[in-house]
Chain A
Amino acid sequence: MQAPSNQGDSNQTQSTVVAQQVGVMLSNVETIPGKTIVQSLGVVTGSTVRAKNIGKDFLAGLKNIVGGELTGYTELLQESRNEAMGRMMQECLSRGGNAVVNVRFATSAVAGGAAELFAYGTAVVVQ
């Protein structure tokens, strides 16, 4: 696989970095474009529940005066989603797969101030 450039060290590129470190390819279509699936290994999932800390909560509350983007939450959700994806990739590796296809994400508020981020897909072996 030709490595796409990931020079930026912002949160936005972290998922790609994790995926490349673990060595699992991801896609949200039924195939890995450009590869052939030889074996399907079933559904793999990864989830994480995160709560905001009081400081971030307070700052976000202040930001609500003018509205707009709440950067603290954006970063927190990004980090948590990367962790959920990481766990999904770990499960895929432990089953002996090297790619996850048809990845889907779900978010739900499980308790006041906490959110569950959930990623799932089908682990496959591709060539």
Chain B
Amino acid sequence: MESIFFILFYPLVIFGPIIFSWVAGNMYQNGKLKSAEDRTNTFLNHHKKDIVSNLKNPFPETTIQTSGLVIANISIGPSWWQMTAGGIKSIFGGKLGTYERVMHLGRMEVMQRLREEAIRQGWDEVINVRLDTATVKSNQNGKNKSSAFEIFAYGTGIKKNQ
């Protein structure tokens, strides 16, 4: 009786959290990515062009009325499953697809936040946009079961002379 218990439930206790993290994490992150993509597409269709650029001057040269700093950030972490899969994959090297997905989600989201923040503050365009990535907390030898990095975007919002 006891051996059956161990055979059935021991793997579940060991692998249960990681399987849960795989299923729930994929669902959650795909939903977030889809929402970020939808918001970006809606925004771009509505404004007919992208309002952010990393040029020093707005491209069709215009006279500028006022300006101010616009900043947006997100701190984002990979799921347990993504950390484990990335850890195993990094033994062999090559492309770490799970981490790529997290970074992509973070970049999409932070760029969209920058656009929304600029519109809310009343700017027409954002020039000289810089993106910055920093590790907030790292997963050291699997000791620390969490990991986070921050993606940060800033630029100068401008208001054109009409």
Are A34 and B64 neighbours in the complex by a CB distance under 8 Å?
Answer: yes
Please determine whether A73 and B148 come into contact, CB atoms closer than 8 angstroms: yes
**Are B132 and A64 touching (Cβ within 8 A)?**
no
Is the CB–CB distance between A25 and B146 below 8 Å?
A: no
B105 within 8 A of A: yes
Contact A4 B122 (CB under 8 A): yes
Least Cβ distance of A116 to chain B in Å?
A: 10
| Interface size range of chain A in the complex | 35 or more
Output the nearest chain B residue to A109 by Cβ-Cβ distance. Answer: B135
B148 touches A4 (CB 8 A): no
In residues 1-48 of chain A, which contact B (Cβ within 8 Å)?
Answer: 1-2, 4-6, 8, 12-13, 15-16, 19, 25-30, 32-34
Which of B66, B122, B158 is most buried by chain A, counting CB atoms within 10 A of its CB? Answer: B66
28 inter-chain pairs at a CB distance below 8 angstroms, sorted by A residue, are A4-B159, A5-B120, A16-B68, A16-B121, A25-B67, A28-B69, A34-B65, A34-B66, A60-B77, A60-B146, A60-B148, A64-B77, A64-B80, A64-B147, A66-B25, A67-B102, A68-B77, A68-B79, A69-B76, A70-B77, A73-B136, A73-B150, A77-B75, A81-B73, A109-B135, A109-B136, A109-B138, A115-B134
- Given contacts A25-B67, A108-B134, 17 further A-B pairs with CB under 8 A are A2-B159, A13-B120, A26-B69, A30-B56, A33-B66, A34-B66, A60-B146, A64-B77, A64-B83, A66-B21, A67-B25, A67-B76, A67-B79, A81-B71, A103-B69, A107-B152, A109-B136
